[in-house]
Amino acid sequence: MSLLVGIDLGGTAIKVALADARGEIFITESIATRSQEGPDAVIERMIGLIRRLLAQHDVPRELIGIGIGVPGLVDVPSGVTRFLPNFPTQWRDIPLARRIGDAMGCPVRLLNDVRTATLGELRFGHGREIDGVTMAFFSIGTGIGGGVVVDGRLRLGPLGAAGEIGHQTMVPGGPRCGCGNRGCLEAIASGSAIAAQGVRLVRSGLAPRLRQIVGDDDARVTTRTMMQAAPDDPPVMEAIRDAAKMIGIAAANVVTILHPSLIVLGGGVAEAGPVFVEAVADEMHRRVGMFPTADVRVERSMLGDRAGVVGAIALAMPPTMPR
Amino acid sequence: MSLLVGIDLGGTAIKVALADARGEIFITESIATRSQEGPDAVIERMIGLIRRLLAQHDVPRELIGIGIGVPGLVDVPSGVTRFLPNFPTQWRDIPLARRIGDAMGCPVRLLNDVRTATLGELRFGHGREIDGVTMAFFSIGTGIGGGVVVDGRLRLGPLGAAGEIGHQTMVPGGPRCGCGNRGCLEAIASGSAIAAQGVRLVRSGLAPRLRQIVGDDDARVTTRTMMQAAPDDPPVMEAIRDAAKMIGIAAANVVTILHPSLIVLGGGVAEAGPVFVEAVADEMHRRVGMFPTADVRVERSMLGDRAGVVGAIALAMPPTMPR
């Protein structure tokens, strides 16, 4: 039996999935990343986990490919990590693909994690409903990541860094973003940005219901608790809607630039509910003036937080295979 | 001899070029559009002009293709105009490609004029210096048009309308744009928008040198007269720089989304001088925080106002020809 391995290397957890040659996943497991132990230890534990999962299946098997999504910049052709900002030592110039490939004896492909998730949405999500699709994926969580597909092909650019649609400047003099720029969509409409507004509203006395729900504990103010409070606290509802509108404007910019047929919204914030997705879609349609957008669908991700590891399976597939 | 015809159908003039099979232009001519006479009369005059130019060359010749750039929406596969906003009757559903093709006995391809100019920049401008280039073209004149090329291929979308990078929302609650949206780049940083600032500065007494240059005549306030006044009127210089920065931010958004290797600036405003292009480039590099942009070139168009008709020649080339 031919097997594929997909790995989503995150700041807190490493998710691994085993799939058959068509990408059908039959086992997934997650372990703590413990990135503070440094690249060597993390890589050893990744290899150990793959071996353990394979050993659980005593059918004859051939590992034909491994795909890995990592949180940062990679050199795509060589499979070397360039800059993982949230990891100690930033994993500068770690030949991750070669290290794993030597240990496991199969080809390994490396990609930024959100581009990997976009590949998941393309091959196993709404993207596969449209032949040669042009689409954009917004992953709205703590930050806002993204990816862009043109004519069925994931747009990578020389560093696998194209598709960062969460780092469009929405407000030129706006708040500082983690990327160094000011006023990025991520700085205004991510889960963190929405929660920051929630905290402000609690402290200003404008969100009594939210205050009650979180029991005076700022740390419990999240998009989720804000959604709970929103029906009773109009300013909380407004903060969520304002963020959705900003994402709608950013989506409109992508539509104006690429005229895709599909926008997919994923990440924890998009899962807050259909109201959020609808508000994004409404604003997108309203903001594109240059051509009719009735043919542009806005959908919630079907894959949810599995998009990354599912995309890593898609990445693991040999390029010659039908996808 | 095999010949190509390129036509740039504008609101005031129809430009026609004749070229050999490799796209080498040997004659261009321009006549008034007189769009108020309606589609039939304009089409007849286009055909008459092509015939006259061909007749001037008494070498044996074969017309192998005609390309036409038009100012609005077209149905690309059928060559039918859908909506030319600045023309009387808006040319709704005029089968322009068939009409011209029947008269001239050769294939005719139709495209939006700024996408056509982008094709010109791709095939005969800076774009041809880079194999399989990903690039964006900003045409900064009265409005701001644009086009996007991914991996050497002009991005069209189903209506030939993708690439409208001048209609990104830069300021969500900003001034009304011709497209119906608010705060588009075009509404803030086009030649018209820059001149509007110039007029305001003259009327407010903040631009004495500009006032002198235009002799108290608002109608003479243009990017060109403003550039003349800028060394003496700091607020005029600032207005031009602010527009260049906005275009730089819009360019940064395109870079963040697509990581192209080339941004080309064309149109009358870009020709205002190297200072403008440099200001755009500086802001673009400053605004992209997610990855290094040293490999992204920002260049002034080599084709100037010929980009449209040169692009129409590129459009006229049979798809099977080497380009």
The per-residue pLDDT for range A266-298, each reduced to its tens digit, is 998 888 778 899 999 999 999 999 999 999 999
How far is A173 from chain B, CA to nearest CA, in Å? 10
Minimal Cβ distance to B161: which of A162, A168, A259: A259
Instruction: Confirm or reject contact between A115 and chain B (CB < 8 A).
Output: no
- Segment A192-227, tens digit of pLDDT: 999 999 999 999 999 999 999 999 899 999 999 999
Q: Which residues, in sequence order, are CB contacts of B42 under 8 Å at separation 6+?
A: B9, B14, B33, B34, B35
For the whole model, what pTM was predicted? 0.93
- The answer to whether the Cβ–Cβ distance between B256 and A167 falls below 8 Å is yes
At residue B118, the pLDDT reads 97
Q: pLDDT band at residue A322, thresholds of 50, 70 and 90?
A: very low
Residue with tokens 């509203």: A201
- The answer to whether the Cβ–Cβ distance between B172 and A168 falls below 8 Å is no
At residue B323, the pLDDT reads 44
How far is A247 from chain B, CA to nearest CA, in Å? 11
At residue B58, the pLDDT reads 64
- The answer to whether the Cβ–Cβ distance between B164 and A290 falls below 8 Å is yes
Q: Which two tokens stand for residue A307?
A: 């998009």
Q: How much is the ipTM here? A: 0.92
Query: Measured between alpha carbons, how far is B162 from B45 in angstroms, rounded to an integer?
Result: 30
* Chain A residue whose CA is closest to B159: A291
Q: Which residues of B touch A253 (CB under 8 A)?
A: 168-169, 253
User: How many A×B Cβ pairs under 8 Å?
Assistant: 129
* Chain A residue whose CA is closest to B257: A163
* Chain B residue whose CA is closest to A73: B291
Average pLDDT of span A20-25: 92
- The answer to whether the Cβ–Cβ distance between B287 and A169 falls below 8 Å is yes
SS3 B56: coil
Q: Which two tokens stand for residue B270?
A: 């870009």
Q: Which residues of B touch A159 (CB under 8 A)?
A: 259, 291-292
At residue A116, the pLDDT reads 97
At residue A323, the pLDDT reads 45
Mean pLDDT rounded to a whole number for chain A: 93
CA-wise closest residue to B245 among B165, B188, B182, B175? B188
- Taking the CB of residue A257, how many other CB atoms lie within 10 A of it? 28
Q: Which residues, in sequence order, are CB contacts of B102 under 8 Å at separation 6+?
A: none
- The answer to whether the Cβ–Cβ distance between B257 and A165 falls below 8 Å is yes
- Segment B13-34, tens digit of pLDDT: 999 999 999 999 999 999 999 9
Q: Which two tokens stand for residue B238?
A: 């600032």
Residues of chain B with pLDDT under 70: 58-60, 320-323
Q: Where are the beta strands (DSSP E) in chain A?
A: 2-9, 13-20, 25-32, 62-70, 73-75, 80-83, 108-112, 135-140, 144-150, 153-154, 262-266, 297-300
- Segment A31-64, tens digit of pLDDT: 999 999 999 999 999 999 999 998 887 666 789 9
Among B259, B283, B284, B293, which would you mutate to test the A interface (most chain A Cβ atoms within 10 Å of its Cβ)?
A: B259
CA-wise closest residue to A188 among A175, A202, A201? A175
Instruction: Confirm or reject contact between B252 and chain A (CB < 8 A).
Output: yes
Residue B13 region, left (φ>0) first, then alpha (ψ -120 to 50), else beta?
beta
Q: Residue A84 in contact with residue A91, Cβ under 8 Å? A: yes
